[in-house]
Structure 1
């Protein structure tokens, strides 16, 4: 965690001198681990600061919560988010309280508006010291509502509206008490969220599905720019034969529907490997203890995940995702995807070419539908999967976001 009043240094901005560089503030919900949202944040920082793009001066990363541990490193020791880690992290007063950026972050949901208002004040102070030219937020929770200083455009890359108090509340409510809490929080926060969304100059959605959610929730139109996949790392291995198992995993939370994928594999007579950690893991281990062919791998590193994608017959994607970068990573390794016909998968999977869809069916009948789709996906050409994945390169993301952000700076 960095002193919020520390100015960005020339070294942190890649050593580019000169007063003409646009001053840009990044805003992100929280810096508490590295997942898909943080990968996008790092790429946004690259587009803002790199000399071949905007060559801007990043004044800092404003965030409600920061656990102070940084974004970590890949298996080879390369930092996951070197630009984000190098710049000042301006953290809300709420996020600096003990445990607030840890176990209390989710229960503090009703206080997010106050934390965001605090960030708005800090942006105003930074602007008063030296004018800002652009605010760029990356949000799946509340910081889309940050108030940019007067006259400063605000571009929001929206991973999703607040799904857990909105259209997908039931996916997160694992018991009646949580359902009641989310219902009450939604009644308080959704009207504020809708009003706050008017402060955004331009929305960017990570999929057509999320563009539709932004339209439904906020009455706003969006550009669609898909998140970047690490296609240079996730690559096929032509010499590695497929091992015939099905793969599922990631964050093992209720909305991921991992149990449906396991049931589908058992019905199809396929061995299934489950990777990742999360609140559902203990219950899944208990439920499938002794089931032949079900293997729980726990948390796996990037190299191990790449090998799994290279050898799996199919990657199962039973949940509704905003986009779902793992599905693209699987295809980049030549692995077809079995996905629910809903959500971001409609952008990332091509039926009969790079995978197979099953209809958005009730959970009781989903395993049979997934099993049938898995059989269809097995016939997909690995080279077609790879070609399709190459549409989602970091360079493609950079170019599209550069155009949008340059337009905002130019008053478009």
Structure 2
């Protein structure tokens, strides 16, 4: 089979690039297409020497720094890729990749990290956080998002098969696009987070300090529980708010950004790992479970796919300090086995992802009466 992979854009090795890495491991001879490629040289190893086909956006003024400002042109850009000679097209989508044009003989399988968040249910949150909820710039942005919403819905009919990265995203796909999807959880490098059964006394949260992560709520909860230790690792724009929520509580330690080795050690020794954000999936939760560490997480989003409530962690119903504190107290009444946490994490390994992706593609090929890869 001639296979093409369409990826959104590449400027750093992050969550969607981990998915792309496993797709390339599964299909090393596939051709790669992407809106733009600004990956640093020291982050390109996962591409296995592959040079992607890029769009015209790569050549626009100051694209390296400002390519996201060309979002309104990205639907046009992805439609310019000539995929007519391919038997199988796999798109990795969180914005426009699933809008690639294919012919009737081509099977298009789209792995969806999320529908275009800022154009659908998170539009108002995005506008507020960007300071675009009023004024002329805000009005123009709303107009752009309205047009993107129309294109996003229309182009959602182009893939033959849609794979969602969690049950939460499957629901968002159903709501935004009126399409059904199959859940294939994203890959997690569980081997990079070795199992350790012995745990310390401190609870841990490790996260970028941005508004939707709600790390301030965890700090507020533990400020009211002075007999329990909390370690906060991470940095970002919300650091002043997190420090204010923690106050001068002696039981709370704020480390800032930590190296990878120190992060792994924190996850291995944590009494439990806290996750108050509503995430599409939440790779950090699986990494903590791989270390044998229980989770205390917000029930909505990907956590519902990851946490086995009462067995590998505790889910809490509201994003509030009181709900987090109640969950901590409930957790302390349970006996959660570290080996159960590790076994749970194995469900999301790189090998499992590749197997499930290949099975979904072969099933789709069989349904069309075409040979599979």
TM-score (norm 2): 0.89
- Structure 1 contact 246–265 (Cα < 8 Å) conserved: no
Give 1:283 deviation, angstroms: 4.6
Aligned partner of 2:156 in structure 1 is: 197
Q: Is 1:40 the counterpart of 2:2 in the alignment?
A: no
Q: CA deviation at 1:284?
A: 3.4
Contact 1:227/1:392 (<8 A) preserved = yes
Pick the aligned partner of 1:326 from 259, 266, 284: 284
In structure 1, C-alpha distance between the alignment counterparts of 2:59 and 2:326, rounded to whole Å: 50
For structure 1, list consecutive stretches of 5 or more residues without a partner in the other structure: 1-21, 50-56, 73-80
Q: Which residue in the other structure is 2:39 paired with?
A: 68
Q: What is the CA RMSD across the aligned residues, in angstroms?
A: 2.3
Q: How does 1:13-412 map to 2 (within 5 A)?
A: 22-49=1-28, 57-60=29-32, 62-70=33-41, 72=43, 82-102=45-65, 104-117=66-79, 121-124=80-83, 127=84, 131-175=85-129, 177-180=131-134, 181=138, 183-238=142-197, 241-269=198-226, 270-281=228-239, 283-285=241-243, 288=246, 290-359=248-317, 361=318, 363=319, 366-378=320-332, 379=334, 380-410=336-366, 411=368
Tell me how far apart the structure 2 counterparts of residues 325 and 229 of structure 1 sit (CA, whole Å).
7
Offset, 1:371: 1.3
Following superposition, the deviation at residue 289 of structure 1 comes to 6.3
CA distance in 2, matches of 1:258, 1:291: 15
Preserved contact between residue 324 and residue 345 of structure 1 (Cα < 8 Å): yes
8 Å CA contact retained: 2:31, 2:52: no
| CA gap 1:154/1:140 in 2 versus in 1, 3 angstroms | same
Check the 8 A contact 2:57/2:67 in 1, yes or no: no
Deviation at 1:98, TM superposition (A): 4.2
Instruction: In structure 2, list runs of 5 or more residues that go unmatched.
Output: none
Contact 1:135–1:153, Cα closer than 8 Å, also in 2: yes
- Secondary structure (helix, strand or coil) at the match of 1:387 reads helix
Judge conservation of contact 2:86–2:106 (CA < 8 Å) in 1.
yes
What's the CA shift for 1:183? 3.6
What TM-score, normalized to structure 1? 0.81
Could you tell me how far 1:95 is from its partner in structure 2? 2.9
Does the aligned pair in 1 maintain the 2:114–2:164 contact within 8 Å?
yes
Q: Deviations over 1:4-50 (max 9, x none)?
A: xxxxxxxxxxxxxxxxxx2211111111112221111111111223x
Q: Is the 8 A contact 1:267 1:368 kept in 2?
A: no
Judge conservation of contact 1:137–1:155 (CA < 8 Å) in 2.
yes
Aligned pair in 2 of structure 1 residues 34, 285: CA closer, same or farther (>3 Å)?
farther
Paired with 1:27 and 1:306, the residues of 2 have a C-alpha distance of 32
